[in-house]
Amino acid sequence: MTKLLVSVTKFDDAYKSVRQALDLCQGLAGLHKGDKILIKPNLVSWDFDLPFPPYGVVATSAVMSALVQILAEEGFTDLTIGEAPLMVPRTIGQAIFKELGYDKLQARYGVKLIDFNEEKFEKVDCGGYELSIAESVLAADKIINVPVLKTHNQTMVSLGIKNFKGVLNRKSKMFCHNKDTDLNYIFPHIIEKLPVALTLIDGVFGLAKGPGPTGKAERLNLLVASRDTLSADIVGAALLGYKAEDVEFLTYFAKRNGGSLDINDIEVRGEDVEKNSKFLDYDWEWTEENTGPVGFAKRGITGLAIRKYDNTMCTGCSMLFNPVLIMFMSAFKGEPLPNLEVVSGKVQVAAPGFDKTVLFGRCPCQLNKDNPNIKHAIAIKGCPPDLMEFEKAMKEEGIACDYNQYVMYRHYIFNRYKAEDGFDMGLYKVK
C-alpha cells in the first residue's frame, strides 16, 4: 500500500516554511492552472469591541500571505479566500479580512474575498443530512484548507475536517449541534462533498482549551501539510498529544471512507512528530457533581450549579459561556448565591431543589417551558443571548453579575501574551 504523504515543517521565514511544507508533500500536484481555487482559512470569529488575542484561534496572515504568493508564482490566477465567521449578530467577514490585511492580497494578486454569510447557499445531501453549503464553495474546482492547530472543547481537536463547518449557513451550523445526532457525526460529512486538494494546518500557535480566545495559546512554530485531509488531521492530533482513535470524528470519518487511523501508515516528511508533540488539554474541568468549574469550588463559590456545556450548545452560546462564568464569579461576595441552577443547550433539563433556574438561550427556554421542577425561571431567550440582558436579569434577581469584570478579564487574557515569548500581532497582518 502506498503511504499518504504528510509534511511537518518548522515555521521560521513564512514564505520559505510554507514552500517547504508544500514541496515535501507534493501539495500543489492536484491543482491545474485554470482551476478556480478557493482557500478556506479558519477565521471563526473576531472581536472589534474588546481585546482579542488571535493566537491559535484564527489562521495567521503570515501563512495565508505566503500561500497566496506561492500560488500566484506558480501561475494560479483564479484565487478566492472565503469564510463564514460567527455572526454577532450580523456578519463581520469583510471586516475580519481587512483587519488581517487580506485587502493587500486582493490588490497584489487579484484575490477575491468572500464572506459566505453574504452569499447564497445550496442545500446538499450530506450523508442523510441536508446541509446548506455556500454556492461559491460548491463552484470551486479545488479547495485549499487552512485550519489552525488547536483543541476544541466539544470535539477534542479542531483541524482540517472540522474547518468545513465554516462553509455552512447559520441554520445548518446550528443543526450540527442538534439534540438527536452528536456533532461529531454530522460535520465530517461536509468535506466528503468538496474537492479538497490540499490541507495546510497553521501551527504557528497551538491552542489549549479552544476553540476561542479564552483558551491558552502556545508558540509551536509548526506547519502540517497534506493532499489528504484525514492524514493531516491524524498528524495534527498527534502533535497536540492525541491519538486519532481517541478523537470521535476522526474515527467516524475514517470508518466511512475506508481510511486508516494508524499514523504508521502515513509517510511523514520533515520534522519528527513525536519530538514535536506537546499535549494541549482540550477540556475545562468540572466538578464531579456537575455544579460548575473546578475553579469555582476552589474559590468556595456555593449556592450555584452551572451545568457543563455539551455538544448541543451552538457556537453562538458557546462563545458566551465563558463570559457568563466570569460574571457569576464577580457576583460571589463570600456568601452563598441564592440556590441557583443554570442550564443551557438543547438537552439539559432543569433539576428539582433549586429556588431559581436560569435558562440560558432560546433552546433551554423552549425545552423547559413546562418543567414542573422550576420554581422561578429566569429566561434569557436570545439566540444567542445578550450579555447585557443577562446582566440586567441577574441584577433584578439580586445577583450582582458585573459585565465590567468580564471586560477586565478580556484585557488580562490579551495582555498575558508577551512579545518576548513569541506572541507577535504582526503575524496577523499581511505585510
The pLDDT of residue 331: 97
Residue 15 located in a structural domain: yes
Are 37 and 69 part of one and the same domain?
A: yes
My answer on whether 263 and 366 are in the same domain is no
Is 1's pLDDT higher than 80?
no
425 belongs to a structural domain = no
Q: Are 156 and 93 part of one and the same domain? A: yes
| Structural domains of the chain, count | 2
Identify whether the C-beta of residue 167 lies closer than 8 Å to the C-beta of residue 137: yes
**Residues contacting residue 316 through CB under 8 Å, at least 6 positions apart:** 86, 87, 88, 383, 384
Handedness of CA 248, 253, 256, 259 (dihedral sign): negative
Asked whether residue 308 is assigned to any structural domain, the reply reads yes
What residues contact residue 13 under an 8 Å CB cut-off, 6+ apart? none
Q: Are residues 228 and 308 in the same domain?
A: no
Which of 282, 310, 339 is the C-terminal boundary of a domain? 282
Same structural domain, 272 and 303: no
User: Tell me, what's the pLDDT at 143?
Assistant: 99
For the cut 90, the answer to whether the pLDDT of residue 90 exceeds it is: no
Helix 248-257 × helix 229-239 angle, to 10°: 150
Examine the pLDDT at 289 and tell me if it is beyond 90: yes
Check residues 128 and 122 and name the one with the higher pLDDT. Answer: 122
Prediction pTM value: 0.97
Asked if residue 346 is part of any domain, the answer here is yes
Residue 127 has pLDDT above 90, yes or no: no
In the block, residue with C-alpha cell 465567521: 85
Q: What is the mean pLDDT of residues 384-401?
A: 96
* Domain-ending residue, one of 282, 306, 325: 282
Last residue of a domain, one of 282, 302, 324: 282
* Average pLDDT for the chain: 97
**How far is the first Cα of the chain from the last one, in angstroms, to the nearest whole number?**
43
Evaluate whether 223 touches 24 at the Cβ level (below 8 Å): no
Check whether residue 91 and residue 190 sit in a common domain: yes
Residue 170 sits in the same domain as residue 145 = yes
pLDDT in tens, 41-57: 999 999 999 999 999 99
Note the pLDDT of residue 261: 98
260 with 217, same domain: the answer is: yes
Cα–Cα distance for residue pair 398/303, rounded to 1 Å = 13
Q: How far apart are CA 200 and CA 195, in angstroms?
A: 15
- At 88, the pLDDT band (50, 70, 90 cuts) reads confident
Residues 231 and 321 in one domain: no
Q: How many CB atoms lie within 10 A of CB 304?
A: 23
Domain extent for 369? 294-412
Predicted confidence (pLDDT) per residue in 293-343, tens digit: 999 999 999 999 999 999 999 999 999 999 999 999 999 999 999 999 999
Give yes or no: residues 305 and 260 share one domain: no
Residue 272 in any domain: the answer is yes
CATH number, position 116: 3.40.50
Peptide bond preceding 293 in cis form (omega within 30 of 0):
no
**Quick one: 169 and 124 in the same domain?**
yes
Q: What is the pLDDT of residues 179-236, one digit of tens each?
A: 999 999 999 999 999 999 999 999 999 999 999 999 999 999 999 999 999 999 999 9
What's residue 104's pLDDT?
99
pLDDT at 234: 99
Q: Would you say residue 211 lies in a domain?
A: yes
> Is the domain of 120 the same as that of 191?
yes
Does 17 map to a domain? yes
Q: Is residue 321 part of a domain?
A: yes
